[in-house]
């Protein structure tokens, strides 16, 4: 049975190594290292990416990353395929498994990516569902490891909605032993079952997970503040939701409560003027474009890990990883 990435804690055991692999591979690639540039673990494989929702970062980073690993990226937009119209997710999965070496899927309902995986003979990577965004969390924690020498000594603060991005961010922080405070408005708390999974990981890895409703309390003395849009894809009809986020904008005044080395993170796309100001987005401490670039490097590590583990291991050994 193939292994799948539906939520970031599916790679709990090797999470830090997957990130270190990505950091080192990125470094070698940027030096035009011949071994890295000739690393083709997806050689001759087509990797299909299904999108039910729009995407800039995920689509481009997967297409370019798959190509760099020797694979053939095949982007399948929902309106162009039979999925959901005259075919079930499970049947689509069985058909695509006959052609592809792996699949990525951006969907509305998390149940759909679960069904795709349950019927697949090849690895499935969740490219965002209403519940999880594991590829984002991998890129985010890769970025944190690049920017902080002692990540277990920092506090990450989330200010915003209790959404898909928060779910995997909190799981990922807990897997690396990083304290996380999250401030969400009442009624917009993260999924309880995911919070319980996060708490169990935090206990195992010796860090704290704290829910608050006051954003200023959450960011006080924190090293990173992370936010996302208040209205996610699929929630466009929930116009009233925005009112609950009064006081949740990340701005100059809010970050003045943080550690002086503060960093700003956002999965993007950002709605400038809503959840974050231009001052913060364009500040030298904003690392949002590093996060965006790291989507590709983190996903290259994940693609090789899930689709050709032997090659991923061999490259890890070459790069001197344990």
Q: Which residues bind ligand NVA (CB under 6 A)?
A: 128, 163-165, 228-229, 232-233, 267
228 is a catalytic site residue: yes
Annotated active-site residue in 107, 135, 173, 267? 267
Annotated active-site residue in 112, 136, 167, 249? 136
Does 128 contact ligand CP by CB under 6 A?
yes
267 is a catalytic site residue: yes
Closest to 93 (Cα-Cα) out of 168, 18, 4: 4
Does 172 contact ligand CP by CB under 6 A?
no
Cα 281 to Cα 79, 198, 284, 286, distances in angstroms: 34, 28, 9, 6
Q: How far apart are CA 247 and CA 175, in angstroms?
A: 30
163 binds, among ligand CP, ligand NVA, none (CB under 5 to 8 A by kind): ligand NVA
In the complex, the smallest distance separating the C-beta of residue 106 from ligand CP, rounded to whole angstroms, is: 7
295 is a catalytic site residue: yes
Query: What kind and span of H or E run contains 255?
Result: helix 252-255
164 binds, among ligand CP, ligand NVA, none (CB under 5 to 8 A by kind): ligand NVA
| Burial profile 130-142: b = 16 or more Cβ within 10 angstroms, e = fewer | bbbbbbbbbbbbb
Annotated active-site residue in 106, 110, 167, 223? 106
Tell me the helices (H) and strands (E) count for the chain, helix number first: 13, 9
In the complex, the smallest distance separating the C-beta of residue 101 from ligand CP, rounded to whole angstroms, is: 22
Among 126, 136, 163, 164, binds ligand CP (CB under 6 A): 136
263 pairs with which residues across the strands? 224
106 is a catalytic site residue: yes
Q: How far apart are CA 276 and CA 284, in angstroms?
A: 15
Cα 251 to Cα 10, 161, 255, distances in angstroms: 34, 16, 6
Annotated active-site residue in 130, 161, 168, 228? 228
Q: How far apart are CA 259 and CA 299, in angstroms?
A: 31
Closest CB to ligand NVA: residue number:
232
232 binds, among ligand NVA, ligand CP, none (CB under 5 to 8 A by kind): ligand NVA
| E strand segments, the chain | 46-51, 72-77, 102-106, 124-126, 155-159, 179-183, 209-212, 224-227, 263-266
| Burial profile 240-262: b = 16 or more Cβ within 10 angstroms, e = fewer | ebeeebeebbbeeebbebbeeeb
Q: What is the largest CA-CA distance in the chain?
A: 56
Interactions with ligand CP, residue window 242-301 (CB under 6 A): 267-269
56 binds, among ligand NVA, ligand CP, none (CB under 5 to 8 A by kind): ligand CP
In the complex, the smallest distance separating the C-beta of residue 310 from ligand NVA, rounded to whole angstroms, is: 32
Nearer to ligand NVA, 29 or 108 (CB): 108
Among 20, 57, 131, 263, binds ligand CP (CB under 6 A): 57
Annotated active-site residue in 133, 197, 223, 266? 133
Residues 128 and 53: beta-carbon distance below 8 Å:
yes
Nearer to ligand NVA, 100 or 142 (CB): 142
Among 55, 143, 198, 299, binds ligand CP (CB under 6 A): 55
In the complex, the smallest distance separating the C-beta of residue 269 from ligand CP, rounded to whole angstroms, is: 6
In the complex, the smallest distance separating the C-beta of residue 99 from ligand CP, rounded to whole angstroms, is: 24
Q: Which residues contact 243 (CB under 8 A, 6 or more apart)?
A: none
Q: How far apart are CA 204 and CA 195, in angstroms?
A: 14
Where in the sequence numbering do the catalytic residues fall? 106, 133, 136, 228, 267, 295
Chain positions contacting ligand CP, by CB under 6 A: 55-58, 128, 136, 267-269
């Amino acid at each position: 049975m193939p292994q799948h990435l539906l939520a970031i804690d599916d790679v709990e055991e090797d999470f830090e190594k997957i990130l270190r692999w990505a950091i080192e591979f990125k470094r070698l690639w940027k030096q035009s290292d011949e071994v890295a540039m000739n690393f083709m673990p997806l050689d001759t494989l087509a990797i299909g990416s299904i999108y039910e929702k729009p995407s800039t970062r995920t689509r481009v980073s997967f297409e370019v990353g798959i190509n760099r690993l020797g694979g053939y990226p095949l982007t399948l937009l929902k309106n162009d395929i039979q999925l959901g119209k005259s075919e079930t997710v499970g049947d689509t999965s069985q058909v695509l498994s006959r052609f592809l070496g792996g699949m990525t899927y951006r969907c509305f309902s998390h149940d759909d990516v679960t069904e795709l995986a349950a019927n697949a003979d090849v690895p499935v990577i969740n490219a965002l569902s209403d519940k999880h965004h594991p590829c984002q969390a991998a890129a985010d924690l890769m970025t944190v490891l690049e920017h902080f020498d002692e990540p277990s000594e920092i506090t990450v603060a989330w200010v915003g909605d209790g959404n898909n991005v928060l779910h995997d961010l909190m799981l990922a922080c807990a897997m690396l032993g990083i304290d996380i405070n999250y401030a969400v408005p009442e009624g917009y708390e993260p999924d309880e079952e995911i919070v319980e999974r996060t708490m169990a990981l935090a206990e195992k890895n010796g860090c704290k997970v704290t829910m608050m409703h006051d954003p200023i309390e959450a960011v006080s003395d924190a090293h990173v503040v992370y936010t996302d849009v208040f209205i996610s894809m699929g929630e466009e009809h929930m116009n009233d939701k925005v009112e609950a986020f009064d006081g949740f904008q990340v701005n100059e005044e809010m970050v003045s409560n943080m550690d002086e080395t503060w960093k700003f993170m956002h999965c993007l796309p950002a709605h400038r003027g809503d959840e974050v100001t231009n001052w913060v987005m364009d500040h030298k401490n904003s690392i949002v474009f590093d996060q965006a670039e790291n989507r590709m490097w983190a996903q290259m590590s994940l693609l090789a890990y899930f689709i050709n583990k032997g090659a991923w291991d061999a490259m890890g050994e070459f790069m001197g990883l344990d």
